[in-house]
Amino acid sequence: MISGFFSPAGIAMARREDQKFTIPDELIIEDLTGPDRKIRQNALDLLNVMTWYGWEPQAFVAAGGVPALITCLGDGEEESQRLAAFLIGYITDTCSPDTTGIADAVPFLMRLFDGSAVALSRKLLARSQKKLRVAAGNTLVKIGAPAVEPLTAALKHPGWDIRFNAARALGEIRDPRAVEPLMDALRDSHRSVRLVTAKALGNLKDSKALDPLCQALTDHTRMVRNYAAWALGEIGDERAKASLQKAFKHALMGGDLSSQFTINAALEQIDEKKYHEYRG
């Protein structure tokens, strides 16, 4: 027997005030936590469509909507999991990362983020889970501080793509606790991880990362060198100038135009920061 919002009684309850269509949060939550996957998917689709029209989820949250969405993260159906992750991110944006229950979603989102929630071959996982990982990663960024510790742990994951996405997310969250783990990640064996790590450290703008970023100016991958130079410019510490000037000479000798441009821009940023500090 169908219960919840999509039952005849639930649909009847939705029509009030001169046939204006309203959404009974309690019945949607009942559908999200019920045993029928099709009904859960219907409820998730409904909430997704509501976001198109500026849904304000405060009443849904107060009625226990966040724990209901968290149960959908373990649904086993990729589309349901993706929508649940997206909706938790939407609520985080609309309300606050401190909204009751949001932090409880982090371990479930991490399982989607690193693929441990899915029993598939590595090759198949990479093909079928990209959208799911992106949704989980985006929501972890929105949640912010509670996600920092598990994301820093993911920097040690055996899969380079997981390490890459973890470094990217930490760079977007910009929590100072991530600085030292990211400094270690600058020595990662995969160039893409080193590249996005240098960018993340530039976003964090912490002078503690000065030495490893200066060392990264000699990385054998050009774009890692360029992002290291960009990051040093963002940090704006004068102590980086000698390393940048040395790197500029190597770039000049090697005809590396992109590195010349990036290093010169970084040196200009450092000088500009010093000028503004001098002018007070």
pLDDT at 67 over 60: yes
pLDDT digits (tens, 9 = 90+) for 199-224: 999 999 999 999 999 999 999 999 99
In a domain, 260, yes or no: no
Which two three-digit tokens encode residue 258?
Answer: 């992109």
> Which CATH number goes with the domain that contains 66?
1.25.10
In a domain, 51, yes or no: yes
In a domain, 24, yes or no: yes
Residue 193 confidence (pLDDT): 98
In a domain, 209, yes or no: no
In a domain, 173, yes or no: no
**Number of domains forming the structure of the chain:** 1
pLDDT at 86 over 90: yes
In a domain, 94, yes or no: yes
pTM of the entire structure?
Answer: 0.86
Expressed as residue numbers, the domain containing 138 is 1-143
Residue 126 confidence (pLDDT): 53
Rounded to an integer, the average pLDDT of 15-37 is 81
DSSP the chain: ---STTSHHHHHHTEETTTEE---HHHHHHHHTSS-HHHHHHHHHHHHHHHHTT--THHHHHTTHHHHHHHHHTSS-HHHHHHHHHHHHHHHHHS-TTSTTGGGGHHHHHHHHSSTT----HHHHHHHSHHHHHHHHHHHHHH-HHHHHHHHHHTT-SSHHHHHHHHHHHHHHT-GGGHHHHHHHTT-SSHHHHHHHHHHHHHHT-GGGHHHHHHHTT-SSHHHHHHHHHHHHHHT-GGGHHHHHHHHHHHHHTT-HHHHHHHHHHHHHHHHHHHHHHH-
In a domain, 160, yes or no: no
In a domain, 223, yes or no: no
